[in-house]
Amino acid sequence: MIVEGHLVKKPSIDFDQKSCNLCGECAAICPLNALIMKIDGDSISTIVKNDAFPKLIKEINIGPEKCDSTCELICQKECPTEAIKVTSKISENGKKSEICEIEIDKSKCIYCNRCEFVCPFGVLHVKTPFQGKVDLNKALCPEDCVVCTDICPTRAIRLENGKPVVYPNFCIFCSACQKVCPKEAICVSRDWIFHDNIESAAWLTALEKLTSFKTLRKELSIKATKRRKTAVQKRKTKKITLDVQKSSTKAEEFLRILSEYRK
C-alpha cells in the first residue's frame, strides 16, 4: 500500500495450499530466505535433495585474524538483516580492545555484500548467487516518491537530491523495487545465477524464467563444451591405455625372443 509516496504496507506472499505440490522451488531460489519448506517439522528442500534443482553458490568467508576493534563493529551495524554478531573484549576503560568472534546466522544472511564493502580490513568476503543489472529511469520518478527505498531489503537504493540512486554492489536482484514502483521506472534483470552442476529439465525451465533465454542458451553452451572436453579426455586416456598395453605386449615379445636367442 502506497500513501503519499511512502510504502506503508509491504506486499505479502500468499499461496494456494491445495495447488502446491511441495516441490520446494520457491524456497530454494528465494534471495531473501523468506520461504522455508518443512516436512514433518524439518526444513528440507525436496527438489534440491532429489537433484532436480541445484544448490545456489552463496558463501561468506571470514578472516578473523585481520579484525581490528577500531572499526567499531561496522559490519554488525551495517548488516540489514542483523545476521552478524561480533563478540569483543572490553578493556578497563570501557572500550572494545579485541575482537573475539564473528558469527554469521546463515538463515538471516542474504549475501548482499554490504559487510564486505564497509569492512576497512578485508575481513569478510561474500559470494552472491545472483548477477544482473538495474536500470533506473529517473525521469519517470514522481516527486516525493520513496517507495523503492522503503522496499529495498539491502538499502541498495538511496535518495540523493530527492531522486533515487541505485548502488548495484548491494543489490541481490530480488526485483521488489520493480514490483512496487507505481511508474515502472525501475527494471531489474538477472544475467547469471551461480550454482553447482546439475542436469535437470526443471532447472532449465526455471532458469529461463528467472533470467532470460540468452542466459539459458549460454548455460547450455557451457555444459555442452564441458561434456565435449570430458569425452575427448576419456578418448585420450583410453588411447594412452591401449598404447601402453601394446607397448607392454611388444616388450614382452622382445624379451621372449631375446631370451630364446641367448639360449
Render each residue's pLDDT in the chain as its tens digit; 263 residues: 677 677 887 878 888 888 988 888 999 999 998 888 888 888 888 888 888 899 999 999 998 788 887 888 899 999 999 999 988 777 666 666 677 788 999 999 999 999 999 999 999 999 999 999 999 999 999 888 999 999 999 999 999 888 899 999 999 999 999 999 999 999 999 999 999 988 888 899 999 999 999 999 999 888 888 888 888 877 777 655 555 555 555 555 645 665 665 55
Residue 17 lies in a domain: no
Residue 242 lies in a domain: no
Q: Do both 101 and 147 map to the same domain?
A: no
Chain-centroid distance of CA 6 in Å reads 30
Q: What CA–CA distance (Å, rounded) separates 47 from 118?
A: 36
Q: Do both 123 and 133 map to the same domain?
A: no
Q: What CA–CA distance (Å, rounded) separates 132 from 143?
A: 28
Candidates 147, 210, 156, 157; CA nearest to 180 is 147
Of 70, 93, 127, the residue that ends a domain is 127
Q: Give the length of the chain.
A: 263
Domain extent at residue 206: 1-8+129-234
Q: Do both 73 and 167 map to the same domain?
A: no
Q: Do both 123 and 139 map to the same domain?
A: no
Structural domain tally of the chain? 2
66: domain CATH number is 3.30.70.3270
